[in-house]
Amino acid sequence: MSNVSGPDTHTRIYLVPHPKIVFLYPSLIVAVIAGFYAYLTKNVEGRGEHVLSLIFLVVLGINLSVIAFDFPRTTSLTVFFALLAIAIGAWFFFTEFPDAWPAFHRLLAKLTPAANAKFYFLFAAILGLLFLGVWINTQFDYWEVRQNELLHHHGIWANMERFAAPSLRIDKEINDLIEYLLLGSGRLVLHPSDEKRAVVLDNVFFVNRKEAELTKLLGALQVEVKTDNS
């Protein structure tokens, strides 16, 4: 959801949590590109086919790592990409220079993944349908912040819960730097004054912009920023 247009544009802000599957969009893009490449080259066989498949698998592997693990520190992010660069560099080095380590080269030579255009397009279609399902779900489960109240819209029958907003406190957390790089994603924790339990919204897109809009909307709102960088 985005801010509505019209006279009330600056008096309400929509907050939409998302599941982690949304961070697989790079794999969707690569699958579509690989599918068109394989189709236009008539599913060319040989080295080109294997390289294309490896690129797709590397991107998918990185995407799955984002979902499986959190990277809260810049050091962890640096280590992750350093290990990835070393692995990819070693792969290409021992592929181009087999005499450097013959046994390892023979092992790499046996790894010849291959996929045709139909596979890539089917993968993209399945992921696209999941993204569509996520988008539909967000139309029936989201939060709306106004100057005097916090609303939770949920259910196909437009159910709504109301909370007092004047003394609303919000914590912003950036727990995964890769997720933040992909979609500006972060967590917002809402603390309504009349509720004992906090409302946790994970994977809110462009969380810094949402924080700025909330601060402007609520005026004296205290925003505690929790981000772990090192």
Q: Name the nearest CA neighbour of 133 among 32, 38, 16, 19.
A: 19
pLDDT at 44: 55
72 backbone dihedrals φ, ψ, rounded to 5°? -80, -20
- pLDDT (0 to 100) of residue 2: 41
Q: How far is CA 176 from CA 83, 179, 203, in A?
A: 18, 5, 10
What whole-number distance in Å separates Cα of residue 31 and Cα of residue 35? 6
Q: Record the pTM.
A: 0.77
pLDDT tens by residue, the chain, 230 residues: 444 334 444 578 999 999 999 999 999 999 999 999 888 887 555 566 778 888 899 899 989 988 888 887 777 777 877 887 888 787 777 777 777 777 777 776 777 778 889 999 999 999 999 999 999 999 999 999 887 788 899 888 878 888 877 778 888 998 888 899 999 999 999 888 777 888 899 999 999 999 888 888 876 444 444 555 54
pLDDT at 221: 45
CA 180 to chain centre: 8
> What's the pLDDT at 47?
62
Decide if 108 contacts 91 (C-beta within 8 A): yes
Q: Measuring CA to CA, how many Å separate 195 from each of 47, 69, 78, 165, 198? A: 61, 31, 40, 11, 7
Q: Kindly state the tokens that stand for 26.
A: 């790079």
